[in-house]
Amino acid sequence: MKKLLLLGVVLFLAGCVTSYDLKKTGDAKLWSAYSVSNQETLNETKSEKVIVWTKYGPILEAIQFWKPVEDGQLLPLNSSVESDKRQRYQSDMTISEIVEIYREDLTGTGKIVISMTEPETVSFGGKEAYRVQSILSDKNGYDFKNELILSVIDDKLYMIELTSAAVHYFDERKKTFDKVIQSIKI
């Protein structure tokens, strides 16, 4: 009886854990909007707003492909600030304004933004895009590095983000992230 109960508890808890599927190498179509080439075996999970790829686990590192944001929508970050008090994306915003609301929303997730670089031009499948790097810390003093690639295409905001532990994992995963970004096809 005890064993059955224990099994029940284990199964119940397992149900609460986000499940990941094996993502094999090859091309991947994301949000029916663009495709990227994946050159290593990874773990993938999908939700309504984001597709996450991770090799060592999401606490250590994750590449997040956010669902393209439409005019008037909130950025898809899990900010604890009430939604009616957050700024929304507007398609005629400048990049620096978008980066400002991204920074505010990051702060709303409980992370402390220690520094953030100015937007730097990169390519997103041949379209104009920008790269912003941040150093973040959480309330317990754990440090993270983050790189966001953002592009406004047909009034929609495309965001791909690498977030990882500041020590070791950012440099380790950056190479993969750069290859993914270079492989974008629209």
Please identify, using beta-carbon distances, which residue of 47 and 91 lies nearer to another protein. Answer: 91
Kindly indicate which of the ranges 19-27, 28-36, 138-146, 169-177 contains the residues binding another protein, using the contact rule CB under 8 A. 138-146
How far is the C-alpha of 35 from the C-alpha of 104, rounded, in Å?
Answer: 29
Tokens of 148: 């966001």
Give the footprint of another protein on residues 57-76 (CB under 8 A): none
Can you tell me which residue has the tokens 């996450």?
Answer: 52
Contact call for residue 172 and another protein (CB under 8 A):
no
With binding defined as CB under 8 A, does residue 19 bind another protein? no
When binding is defined by CB under 8 A, the residue of 100, 122, 174, 178 that contacts another protein is 100
97 binds another protein (CB under 8 A): yes
Does 43 participate in binding another protein (rule CB under 8 A)? Answer: no
95 binds another protein (CB under 8 A): yes
Least separation in angstroms between CB 78 and another protein: 15
Residue 135 lies near another protein (rule: CB under 8 A) = yes
Binding site for another protein (CB under 8 A): 80-81, 84-87, 92, 94-97, 100, 103-104, 107-108, 112-114, 118-121, 128, 130, 135-143, 166
